[in-house]
Amino acid sequence: MRINQDCIRDILLYIENLTLSEMQHGIESEELSEVEMLTEKYSKDDIVYSLIQLIDAGYLEGETYEYVYDPTSVRVDKITWEGHEFIDATRSETVWLKTKEKVSKLIGETSLAVLTQVATAVSKQLLGL
């Protein structure tokens, strides 16, 4: 599967808006796969794969489980510092769109770490810094 960068961003933005009590015992991929904001744009496979990649990349803390009846289930415990940095850098829709446009024109696709750096540079450019 390919990483869907828009799905990654939307998942992080959604989780960031959950309260501490909502995250007290973590949130399961099954719950996220039923969130309308996500399901109207992404398949369950995209959501679960994005969660796995976010955990592997250190943007989320959580665990991946494999069951017979459900090939992969993910529990997210929290967003890490790196995850918050990505969210902060890409929160603005204007910055996000310009970041994706810039990356697409120059190299096609890149890592989340580079996207964060490009988004930060785009923000600085928009602010005239």
pLDDT digits (tens, 9 = 90+) for 79-125: 999 999 999 989 999 999 988 888 877 777 777 888 888 888 888 88
The pTM for the full model equals 0.87
Looking at residue 41, what is its pLDDT? 93
Query: What b/e string do you get for 102-119 counting C-beta neighbours within 10 Å, with b at 16 or more?
Result: bbeeeeeeeebeebbebb
Looking at residue 71, what is its pLDDT? 66
φ, ψ at 11 (rounded to 5°): -65, -50
- Mean of the pLDDT values across residues 44-60? 92
In this prediction, residue 67 has a pLDDT band, given cuts at 50, 70 and 90, of low
Looking at residue 50, what is its pLDDT? 92
**Least confident piece of the model among 16-25, 27-36, 64-73:** 64-73
Length of the chain as a residue count: 129
Q: Positive or negative CA dihedral for 63, 66, 69, 70? A: positive
Question: Mean pLDDT over all residues of the chain?
Answer: 87
